[in-house]
Amino acid sequence: MDVPVLGFTAAAGYRQNYADWFGIQARLGLSIGIVPYTEEQPPEDETRSEQDNSAMMELYGEFIPHFGPLGRFYFGPMVFVSRLMFTDNRLNAGESEYYLSDMTRVGGGLDMGVLVLSREQLDIKWRIKSALDMPLRLEFGAGYHFM
């Protein structure tokens, strides 16, 4: 079952250019979110005694050899490993029950972004990720470079 997740991600990373057009990035991060109840709510006279949402936490690491900046644009292939965990693995949706499995994922993707501001401190990025057990996942974000 594909379920939506509402949340945020924070990461710390390392970025180094070894030539004018090539470098590496590595990031360690934490995502926290809620897997919400997604079907119609029961009538007011019915109560749900079971859990109707679950908190999700994902710890991840990414490695990206990147090309650029080409102007201010960069891109590169990505490999990642993540550990996905839920506070409650059983999610009720009306008469149906779904089981959310804690899992470790290894996958790949494409990381792209644009460096902005005068010293290129701000990073606007978008990514496409996939693993064998998950469909394509699109991510959008912004980062600030302290050094």
Q: 96-99 and 90-93: which strand pairing?
A: antiparallel
Q: Is the pLDDT of residue 90 over 80?
A: no
What would the pLDDT profile of 96-146 be if each residue is shown by its tens digit? 666 777 889 999 999 999 988 877 788 899 989 998 877 788 888 888 877
Q: Which helix (H) or strand (E) holds 130?
A: strand 122-131
Residue 14 to residues 65, 69, 143: CA-CA distances in angstroms?
12, 16, 12
**CA 26 – CA 15 distance, rounded (Å):** 7
Q: pLDDT of 4-58, one tens digit each?
A: 667 888 888 888 889 888 999 999 999 898 876 655 445 554 554 444 667 889 9
| Whole-Å CA distances, 86 to 38, 57, 97, 104, 105 | 17, 6, 15, 12, 14
User: Which CATH fold would you assign to the domain 6-144?
Assistant: Porin (2.40.160)
**pLDDT at residue 119, rounded to an integer:** 74
* Rounded Cα–Cα distance for residues 29 and 83 (Å): 11
The phi-psi region of residue 94 (left if phi > 0; otherwise alpha if psi is between -120 and 50; otherwise beta) is left
Q: Which residue has the higher pLDDT, 62 or 100?
A: 62
Q: What is the pLDDT of residue 91?
A: 63
User: pTM for the whole thing?
Assistant: 0.72
Which residue ranges make up each domain of the chain? 6-144
Model confidence at 77: pLDDT above 70: yes
